[in-house]
Amino acid sequence: MTVLVLAADLDPTVDAVVAELNRRDVPVLRCDLAWFPQHLALDARLDDGARRWAGGLHTEHRHVELEGLRSAWYRGPTGFRLPTGLTGPERHHALWEAKLGLGGVLAELPVLWVNHPGAEADAAYKPVQLPTATRSGLTVPPTLITNQLDAVRAFAADHDGDIVVKPLSFGIITEDGVDRPIWTHRLTGDDLADLSGVDTTAHLFQRYVGDKQFEARVTVVGGRLFAAAIHAGSAAARIDWRSDYAALDIKPVDVPAQVESGIREFMTRMELVFGAFDFVVDTSGAWWFLECNSAGQFGWIEDATGLPITAALADLLEKGQP
C-alpha cells in the first residue's frame, strides 16, 4: 500500500517525511499537481456497479493503482501546468476540467487524507474557524470583519483603541516581483485616523491581546498534540512572531486540559487530521485562539524542541488511519 504525497517539488518539510517513510520501506508516490497533465497521468474508471474509482496514477518513474493507496498527504501542491499555446478561454476551460477531473477523483479516494482538500479549503476561512473555535470551547479575542470605516472606529473604541489588523487570506503580496509579507499590525492612532481603503474589501480586526506571557504553537497530528511555547525577544516578534524568527525562544509546553479538549473538538468539527494552532497565552494563563493553519509548517518547531512531529506524521501516513 502506497502513501500519496501531493506537494511542491521544493519543500524540505516534505523531504524529511518522505525520507522517514523511505527508511521504513513504506512505498511513496510523491508528485505535484503542477505535474498534471504533462508529467502526471490519470486513468480512472468507474465500471458497472463499482463503488469506487479504479485505475492509476502514472509519473515518469512511478505508477500506483488507486486501490493501492493507503493515505494521501495534501501538502500545498502547486497548480496545474497546462501546455503552452492555449488561448485564455481554453486555459480557463482546461484548468477547471483538470481541477474537477483529477481533483474529483483524488478527493473521492477512500483513504486517510492529511488533510482532505475539502476540509483544508473550508479551514482556510477564518470567519469559519473563529466561531467553530468558540463552539469547541476555546477562547477567541473579539473580532470584527468589515468594509465599513465607522464599524472599525466603533470596534476600536470598544477596545481602547488597542486592536490589530491581519489578513484573512494570504500573508504575502507580490508586487513588482517582490514578495512582501503582511504581518499582524497593531494599529496606532495615526492608523485609526485614516482608515481609507477599508472600504475596498473585507478586513479583519481583532482586539490585541497585549498582556502576553508567550505564544503557543500546538501541532496536531492525528490524535497526538505537540505543543511549544514561543517566547518573543523583540518588539516586532511580540506582535507577530513570524516577523522575527531570530528573536524567538521555543520550548515544549504543557497544554491545559480544557484547551486540549477544545483543540480536539475543533479538529473533529473541521474534519481535520493535521493542524497547527496558534494561541496567545496571557498573564492570567488564558489561552486565546488565533487560528489553526491546516497546512502549517512544523520543521522549525521540531528543530527547536525535538518534538517528534516528522515521525508522528510518518506514523499516521504509514498506518492510514488516525
Which parts of 156-195 interact with other proteins (CB under 8 A)? Answer: 165-167, 169-176, 178-183, 185, 191, 195
Should residue 87 be labelled a site residue for other proteins when binding is judged by CB under 8 A? yes
Please report whether residue 107 would count as binding other proteins according to CB under 8 A: yes
Q: CB of 245: closest distance to other proteins in angstroms?
A: 5
Of 225, 206, 223, 222, the C-alpha closest to 280 is 206
Nearer to other proteins by Cβ, of 96 and 258: the residue is 96
- The rounded distance, in Å, linking the Cα atoms of 5 and 10 is 13
Q: State which amino acid sits at residue 35.
A: W
Site for other proteins in 109-148 (CB under 8 A): 117-122, 124-125
User: What residues have CB less than 8 Å from 234, skipping those under 6 apart?
Assistant: 244, 247
Shorter beta-carbon distance to other proteins: residue 147 or 258 = 147
Q: Which of 81, 55, 80 is nearest to 66 (CA)?
A: 55
| DSSP letter, residue 36 | T
When the beta carbons of 58 and 185 are compared against other proteins, the nearer one is 185
- Helices 257-270 and 126-135: angle between axes, nearest 10 degrees: 130
Q: Residue 15 interacts with other proteins (CB under 8 A)?
A: yes
**Contact flag: residue 311 with other proteins (CB under 8 A):** no
Binding of other proteins at residue 208 (CB under 8 A)?
A: no
**Does 300 contact other proteins by CB under 8 A?**
yes
Give every CB contact of residue 179 below 8 A, 6+ residues apart in sequence: 172, 173
Under the binding rule (CB under 8 A), the answer on residue 151 touching other proteins is: no
55 binds other proteins (CB under 8 A): no
HSE, side-chain direction, 13 A CA sphere, residue 9: 4
If one asks whether residue 316 binds other proteins (CB under 8 A), the answer comes out as no
Cβ nearer to other proteins, comparing 96 with 322: 96
Beta-sheet strand order (sheet of 287-293): 248-252, 224-232, 212-221, 274-282, 287-293
CB of 304 to other proteins, least distance (A): 7
Q: Which of 2, 4, 11, 114 binds other proteins (CB under 8 A)?
A: 11
Min dist CB 67 to other proteins, Å, is 21
Residue 57: strand, helix, or coil: strand
Q: 26 to 45, contacts with other proteins by CB under 8 A? A: 28, 30, 33-34
The DSSP letter of residue 185 is E
Instruction: Say how far residue 276 (Cα) sits from the centre of its chain.
Output: 7
Does residue 298 belong to the site contacting other proteins (CB under 8 A)? Answer: yes
